[in-house]
């Protein structure tokens, strides 16, 4: 646990076009540790040349050029809304490459993993990033083991987090390591967030991808979410939407990019995942409760969506606790 007399240097690296919430979420968590929980963090926002750095939202943040510390405790690199913005940050990647060897631990928030990768820090390591860009990170850097469904990944002195708010989860885990679990729990309460979220980021990604515009298809999806244990045929969902089954199926694909059958399978798989990973409930009972009916059907869908069987997902969940 951190002694009150020890100050840990914590630098956030920003660049033009950075995502404001990637900075603000973790920064708020660490500031709460300082302001209300007697932690000692020396927090600075740094950039390649210092001065005002304008984020993607138009808000400008004051930064300093990197000092030359005797010891840098934590280096945290924020992300950007698109990878194209990160591709322009060659000087920032060089800065990260230079600073990381001085740090006890280095981290990224969201797409900031692309800057860690560009700096060569993730070669041969496990990492995660925003679900939308996980495949691109894997394609560009084949030596990285990208774990697309994780909220955050820690491997030795390297930490990476998933999309945007997952930076808060990462910050809480770091605070727990530095200051103890009671402090991190208290800060989670201050922030009104879960201390530890169950499940991976796929529970958010698919729902966001499926989300249609307001109207009949969205109403049918909302109904499906709360009736997963039922049969949920196209005809039943069409009745909820108050249109014909043929029109419903056509409009559903047009608005979500999925067939109704595949969408329902995704919803069921996502409902099953927290139970699979976080409980000892028999897998065959989970399959019944979320509407798969049979364990074999749930196994096939899990393999297609997550690339792992329910048994493997359960082992992974236990390994993370």
> How far, rounded to the nearest angstrom, does the alpha carbon of residue 36 sit from its chain's CA centroid?
27
Q: pLDDT tens digits for 53-70?
A: 999 999 999 999 988 766
| Residues 256, 210: Cα–Cα separation, whole Å | 5
Q: Is 269 a catalytic residue?
A: no
Of the two residues 204 and 312, the one the predictor is more confident about is 312
Does 25 have pLDDT greater than 80?
A: yes
| Residues 153, 189: Cα–Cα separation, whole Å | 23
Q: Are 279 and 218 in contact, with CB atoms under 8 Å apart?
A: no
310 pLDDT band (50/70/90 cuts)?
very high
What's residue 317's pLDDT?
73
What is the CA angle 205-210-214, rounded to 5?
Answer: 125
From 110, 179, 269, 302, active-site residue: 110
For tokens 């007399």, the residue is 5
CATH T-level assignment (fold) for domain 8-191: Rossmann fold (3.40.50)
| Residues 127, 150: Cα–Cα separation, whole Å | 9
State the helix-helix crossing angle for 260-278 and 202-210, rounded to 10 degrees.
160
State the helix-helix crossing angle for 260-278 and 295-306, rounded to 10 degrees.
100
Does 313 have pLDDT greater than 80?
A: yes
CATH class of 202-320: mainly alpha
What's residue 266's pLDDT?
86
Q: What are phi and psi of 14, to 5 degrees?
A: -120, 170
Give pTM, 2 decimals.
Answer: 0.66
Q: pLDDT tens digits for 74-97?
A: 999 999 999 999 999 999 999 999
Does 240 have pLDDT greater than 60?
A: yes
Q: What is the CA radius of gyration of the chain?
A: 22
Does 255 have pLDDT greater than 60?
A: yes
**Strand order across the 8-13 sheet:** 41-46, 8-13, 72-77, 103-108, 158-161, 152-155
136: left (phi over 0), alpha (psi -120 to 50) or beta: alpha
Q: pLDDT tens digits for 105-147?
A: 999 999 999 999 999 999 999 999 998 888 889 889 999 988 8
- Per-residue pLDDT, averaged over 250-271, amounts to 88
Pairing of strands 41-46, 103-108: unpaired
What's residue 2's pLDDT?
45
Q: Where are the domains of the chain?
A: 8-191, 202-320
Q: pLDDT tens digits for 138-165?
A: 889 999 988 877 889 999 899 999 988 8
């Amino acid at each position: 646990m951190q002694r009150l007399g020890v100050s840990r240097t914590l630098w956030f690296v920003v660049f033009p076009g950075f995502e404001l919430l990637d900075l603000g979420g973790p920064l708020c968590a660490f500031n709460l540790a300082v302001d209300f929980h007697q932690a000692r963090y020396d927090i600075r926002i740094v950039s390649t040349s210092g001065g005002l750095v304008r984020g993607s939202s138009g808000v400008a943040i004051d930064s300093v050029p990197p000092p030359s510390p005797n010891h840098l405790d934590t280096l945290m690199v924020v992300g950007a809304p698109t990878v194209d913005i990160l591709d322009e940050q060659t000087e920032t990647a060089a800065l990260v490459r230079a600073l990381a060897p001085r740090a006890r631990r280095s981290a990224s928030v969201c797409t900031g993993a692309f800057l860690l990768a560009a700096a060569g820090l993730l070669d041969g390591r496990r990492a995660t990033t925003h679900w939308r860009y996980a495949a691109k990170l894997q394609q560009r850097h084949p030596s990285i083991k990208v774990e697309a469904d994780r909220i955050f990944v820690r491997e030795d002195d390297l930490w990476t987090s998933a999309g945007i708010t997952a930076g808060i989860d990462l910050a809480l885990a770091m605070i727990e390591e530095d200051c103890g679990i009671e402090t991190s729990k208290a800060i989670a309460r201050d922030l009104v967030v879960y201390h530890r979220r169950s499940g991976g980021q796929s529970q958010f990604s698919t729902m966001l991808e499926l989300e249609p515009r307001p109207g009949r298809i969205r109403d049918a999806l909302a109904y499906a979410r709360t009736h997963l244990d039922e049969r949920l045929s196209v005809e039943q969902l069409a009745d909820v939407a108050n249109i014909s089954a043929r029109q419903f199926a056509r409009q559903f694909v047009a608005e979500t990019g999925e067939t109704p059958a595949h969408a329902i399978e995704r919803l069921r798989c996502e409902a099953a995942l927290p139970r699979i990973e976080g409980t000892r409930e028999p897998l065959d009972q989970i399959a019944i409760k979320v509407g798969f009916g049979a364990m074999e059907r749930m196994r096939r869908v899990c393999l297609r969506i997550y690339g792992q069987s329910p048994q493997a997902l359960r082992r992974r969940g236990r390994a993370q606790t």
